[in-house]
Amino acid sequence: MRSAYKDVVLGIALLAISVFVLAWLIPVGIDSPGTISNRALAPAFWPRLIMIAMTALSVVILLQGLNRIRILRAEGVEAEPHEPNIAGNLKTAIAAVGLFVFTWAMTWGGIVVPSMVALALYILLHGEWRLTIIIPVSIGVPLALYLFFLKVALVPMPLGIFENYFF
Same domain flag for 35 and 99? no
Q: What is the pLDDT of residue 125?
A: 96
Print pLDDT tens along the chain (167 aa). Answer: 778 899 999 999 999 999 999 999 998 988 877 777 777 777 888 899 999 999 999 999 999 999 999 998 888 877 677 788 899 999 999 999 999 999 999 999 999 999 999 999 999 999 999 999 999 999 999 999 999 988 888 888 889 998 888 66
Domain ends where: 83, 107, 139?
83
- Global pTM? 0.64
pLDDT of residue 131: 96
Tally of domains within the chain? 2
Enter the DSSP assignment of 128.
-
**Could you tell me if 68 and 113 lie in one domain?**
no
Which DSSP letter does residue 37 get? S
Cα 110 from Cα 157, distance rounded (Å) = 8
Q: Of 61, 83, 105, which residue sits at a domain end?
A: 83
Is the domain of 56 the same as that of 103?
A: no
> Count of residues for the chain?
167
Full domain range(s) for residue 20? 1-83
Q: Do residues 157 and 116 make contact, with C-beta atoms less than 8 angstroms apart?
A: no
Cβ within 8 Å of residue 121, ≥6 positions away: 98
CA distance linking residue 115 with residue 95, whole number of Å: 14
Q: What is the pLDDT of residue 81?
A: 72
Which residues 6+ apart lie within 8 Å of 29 measured at CB? none
Question: How far is 95 from 120, CA to CA, in rounded Å?
Answer: 12
User: Do 74 and 3 fall within a single domain?
Assistant: yes
In a shared domain, residues 117 and 160 = yes
Domain boundary among 37, 68, 83: 83
Are 91 and 165 members of one domain?
Answer: yes
d(CA 61, CA 51): 15
35 shares a domain with 6? yes
**Are residues 141 and 129 part of one domain?**
yes
At CB < 8 A and 24+ separation, what contacts does 24-31 make? 26/51
- Predicted confidence at residue 11, as pLDDT, reads 96
pLDDT for 167: 62
Residues 72 and 4 in one domain: yes
